[in-house]
Structure 1
Amino acid sequence: MKVLQANMHRSRTANDLLLQIALEHHVDLAIISEQYKTREDGLWIEDETKTAALWIPAFSTVTHHTPIRQNCYVSAQVADWTVISCYLTPSDDITTFQRKLEDIEDAAKQAQGKVILAGDFNSRAEEWGMASTNSRGRKILNMAARLGMVVANIGSAATFRRPGNEGTIPDITLVSEEMANKVAEWKEQEYKKAKKDLNIAIRKSKINKWKCLCNDVNSDPWGLGYKIVMKKLRSRRSLPELQVEQMDNIVGALFPTHEIRPRRRTVPDLEERVDMFTLEESVRSTNSLKSRKAPGPDNIPAEVLQAIAERRPNLLLDMFNACIRKGLFPKQWKLQRLVLISKV
């Protein structure tokens, strides 16, 4: 059984990171302290103060039963282990701390067989990597001795780090002494590195999804992009009721009608009716284009046109005037491209 112990510190990012790590390492059970919120995927059991929890992911196959929820801890039988998750707040005085610790000890005594007791105890002891032992740490060590449990923490990596301060190790894991040799590969997960890796993965995923959406809009105007926009529009308030006359006036103003004119059979001699472009006008209009912008459907960037206007201005001038003389313009010049702007 793979067990993950995590102190969430009420962090939304840590909550997202929890699922990512559980999936990557195929975690069967997570022992949680200071959770961000109740998870809806899988089985979630939390204590009465919502500061300690046990989470069995939906993809886990371990069995469980007999959950117990108390003031500062929660316990359950998971596979053939009794697992207790607890959180002891640093604001408690030593008397309150002792009383809560006694409740946790009673729960461990009543457990049958193998026991894992883990959580954020907010205490110090050399046995789990701290430089010194305080009164809280001594009380926990005495409790572990009475229960026949040992500290499973290996190394001295900090499990909590406040900006600008030295890291501490408030999170510890205790296991039954006779089963200590069954605990393999106990290690800390570096939160900063895992958070950085997750952010990079999320960023890459967003970029890929955005590119796919843009390609879908170009290839299928009625595809996913259209459905997203229509979903947003449907969520708005319904239009006010209008009279038939009002609707006719609106449609007439937006879509005016005119008499149908016969189609021309020949192209008129526009050279006599329309002035041709001058070289100065061609260069000035080309230089007015904004650089570093996405090209249109013709896929010609503004920088290319500006370079041509600088080195071969007559080339553009002849092309523009030929379009006017013949009354013909490229189809790409008559198209528009719908671009969705990402707000991420």
Structure 2
Amino acid sequence: MEIDVDLLVITDPNRIEAARHVWTTDTAGDVAVTSYSNRCPWQLYHREEGILAITFAEFVLVAGYISPNVLLEDFETYIDRITILIIQAPKRVILMGDFNCKAIIAGSQYTNNRGRIFADMMMATGLICLNDGTYTFEARGHRTVLDLTLIDSRWDAHTFHWCVLESDTGSDHRATLLVMDSSHAPAHASSKPPRLNGWQINMVVNRTAAKLANNNELTPLVLQNIITEETARIHQSVNRKHPVYWWSPEIALQRNRLQYWRRKKYRLRAGGGPPFEAALNEFAAARRELNYMIKRAKRNRWRELCSELDSDPWGRAYQIVMKRFGRRLPVLTSENATAQLTDLFPVRDACRFE
């Protein structure tokens, strides 16, 4: 198979071929990445067993592979490592790989235990799957979806073109192609549909039902795009808030970690045992760290405000004080003017020197 690509991601590669071509692999040799052009320079970001991450342009590409023979507990630990890596990534993430799981939200016809864990990871990281249900694996007449491609949900799905290639790869797996439309780059994302005041559930449900009825090729990705497009119109006034003055990307990252461990704690609560205790401890530690970061951010912002007051008396400190008065300024009468002058210039006895 020959095709002009910038980056090539291979899961479970042939060890001899990987060594002969000097591909960049994970520590176990289960994932390989290489480039065939100078149009897309990249750098190694992270590497461990079964996980390989690189950075290029405004992306972090995470590639992974895990064997179908590992235990469910080991699979969950593996997905946890990927989740933490995605949450801590400095850029928006593209996730590709063979995770040997079945989930309806990822294009399969049903969801197994591994698929439920993978779906939880998608919810925790905000990723959406581009697979449209086309099979990517075929062996002995059995066809299924194994090779997955996921992108950050903050991107417009129309920015990317994903498809399964018909070319022969010499393997049971079929090659998938991901192309990004440069005219719809994340920095120039298409405009969002106008938002409506209130939920207006009936209107949204009717529009969604009409689009579903008129769509002859209904796939999980199409369904997700339709629902996302319609629910994006929903907007409550309580959400029209600006970030608080002490908010920062580091605090947002720590909050994502806290939410991740909260979901994991609730998922393991029924089973109990050491896994639940470990998740509970991680949740408590993440909550303490978040509270500490918020207190430290508030303290630092207060110190910055006090230091700016000396250099710029009409800056933010003045604006904060004036906002407390509202639109109406305090009325200065003769009585309170005299009181203010007395406080500012107190009358004292004259000093006599003999």
- TM-score bin (small chain): 0.3 to 0.5
TM-score, normalisation: structure 1: 0.46
State the TM-score, normalized to the length of structure 2: 0.45
